[in-house]
Amino acid sequence: MKNIVKLLFGSFLLATAFSSCEKDEHRVIYEGGTPPVLTSTSTGALVLTRANQNNLAMKLSWTNPDYSFNTGISSQDVNYVLQVDTVGANFTNPKKQEQVISKELSVSLTVKDLNLFLTKMELVPGIPHNLQMRIKSTLASGAVPLYSNVFAVTVTPYLDFVVEPPAQLVQVTMTVSYGLLVMLHPADGIIPCLHLTM
């Protein structure tokens, strides 16, 4: 009886060992990746203007991080996030801006796109600001983040409107016991008022 128990116990251990080996053979293990290399078409200082808001400000491109596993190069989708912050904050600023870019290896930013980043960061318009940009890559699950080199650029934003004013100068005259002249200037957002005595 003892021999039978020993034989059964030995068979169980052997089966468990084989099962463990098979699981190890099918386990997918992350082996590494290469941080993306970020480049830009714009290398000089940028002065943004409302008149050119639809023009291309810059195009950013980066290399594939080539996530690899023990089964080979990953076929999973890779997601990218463009991160924009001020120089010195090193992407720790709570007001830093991020733009998700799925699968692509480049992004084109218009003058308006770039200005919106600075507006949301509450940077003062009309004066230059030193910015830094980088690409964060992750697998579709958000795992294994890799960061590109940092690209620095100086940008001067313009004052933008939360609500667009009329396309042309608008004058509204109201008369009750007095006149009120209101002028909306779409170029600089100034709203002068002139009271006219009747």
Please give the average per-residue pLDDT across 117-121, as a whole number: 96
| Two structure tokens written together for 191 | 């709203």
pLDDT band at 142 (very low <50, low <70, confident <90, very high): confident
Q: What is the pLDDT of residue 32?
A: 82
Please give the average per-residue pLDDT across 69-77, as a whole number: 69
Whether the CB-CB separation of 43 and 58 falls below 8 Å is answered with no
Q: Does residue 64 or residue 3 have the better pLDDT?
A: 64
Q: What is the pLDDT of residue 77?
A: 79
Q: What is the pLDDT of residue 70?
A: 74
| pLDDT greater than 60 at residue 151 | yes
Q: Does residue 195 or residue 140 have the better pLDDT?
A: 140
List the domain boundaries for the chain.
30-156, 165-198
Q: What is the pLDDT of residue 103?
A: 84
Please give the average per-residue pLDDT across 13-33, as a whole number: 60
The partner residues of 182 in beta bridges, in order of sequence, read 172, 193
| pLDDT greater than 90 at residue 72 | no
| pLDDT greater than 50 at residue 174 | no
- Rounded CA-CA distance 48/148 in Å is 26
| Amino acid, res. 36 | P
Please give the average per-residue pLDDT across 76-90, as a whole number: 92
pLDDT band at 167 (very low <50, low <70, confident <90, very high): low
Average pLDDT across the chain, whole number? 77
| pLDDT greater than 50 at residue 177 | no
Tokens 């690409």 locate to 135
Q: What is the pLDDT of residue 166?
A: 56
CATH class held by domain 30-156: mainly beta
DSSP track, the chain: -HHHHHHHHHHHHHHHHHHHHHHHHH---EEE--PPPEEES--S-EE--GGGTTSEEEEEEE-----EETTEE--S-EEEEEEEEETTTTT--TT-EEEEEES-SEEEEEHHHHHHHHHHTTPPTTS-EEEEEEEEEEETTS-S-EE---EEEEEE-----SSPPPSS-EEEEEESSEEEEEEE-TTT----EEEEE-
Q: What is the pLDDT of residue 30?
A: 80
Q: For residue 50, give the nearest of 122, 130, 116 by alpha carbon.
A: 116
